[in-house]
Amino acid sequence: NAGVTQTPKFQVLKTGQSMTLQCAQDMNHEYMSWYRQDPGMGLRLIHYSVGAGITDQGEVPNGYNVSRSTTEDFPLRLLSAAPSQTSVYFCASSYIRGSYKMNTEAFFGQGTRLTVV
Amino acid sequence: DQQVKQNSPSLSVQEGRISILNCDYTNSMFDYFLWYKKYPAEGPTFLISISSIKDKNEDGRFTVFLNKSAKHLSLHIVPSQPGDSAVYFCAATPTLGRLYFGRGTQLTVWP
């Protein structure tokens, strides 16, 4: 059971480059989200999705795009990388609360450590 | 404006004793609360949760207490073990699985 899989695990980008962080889950979860973790800042929500074709912004969406064409995949795109985007990125998935499925805790991937130079 | 606050960045406890991690929240719409544990170079993992209709939830060595009037929750670990050393995040949600996280507390359990 793979759970939430993120690729790559590490990445170094030059300022201005673009890239896509991949996230896939095999638990048929409706809800998926992207967080970034910075020292002393906890986990901050970038974008989230409540199902295929539906996305919305979180607390820190600037500089990032997402799409959700399938239930399983939720890629995060950096349009033009900046040093301020150096961070550890986590993808998470969960069932939507209020559905008949009782588990509501989010399952996290292992993270992608991104450095922008 | 941080809606979930963990005011203690670190906590050091001797093995066998109780660890108490605290969390405060400001949004009265939050009705479900969770604790996550995170080891270095790994993703956070779910530890325990509590609904706002309860004031206590217990799972083995871990107990979460919720005081709605004070908008405060705490995680108790008894007895603490060295393997419990990790960063603990408090999280809260009003709806639809969107989680608001605190900044985390680094717990160190020493022998």
Give residue-wise pLDDT tens across range B28-70: 989 889 999 999 989 999 999 998 889 999 999 999 999 999 9
pLDDT at position B43: 94
Specify the pLDDT at position A41: 86
The pLDDT, as a whole number, for residue B97 is 59
pLDDT at residue number B96: 58
Of A96, A104, A109, which is closest to B43 when you measure between CB atoms? A109
Q: Which long-range contacts (CB under 8 A, 24 or more apart) does A25-29 make?
A: A25/A72, A25/A74, A25/A91, A25/A93, A25/A107, A26/A1, A26/A2, A26/A72, A27/A3, A27/A93, A27/A107, A28/A71, A29/A71, A29/A93, A29/A94, A29/A95, A29/A107
Question: In B, which residues are within 8 Å of A9 by CB distance?
Answer: none
Residues of chain A with pLDDT under 50: 100-102
Split at pLDDT 50, 70, 90, the class of B95 is low
Which residues of A lie closer than 8 Å to B, measured between beta carbons? 4, 31, 33, 35, 40-45, 48, 50, 58, 90, 92, 94-98, 104-111
Mutation for testing the B interface, residue in A57, A60, A97 having most B CBs under 10 Å: A97
pLDDT, residue A101, reads 43
pLDDT at residue A100 in the model = 45
- CB of B96 within 8 Å of a chain A CB? The answer is yes
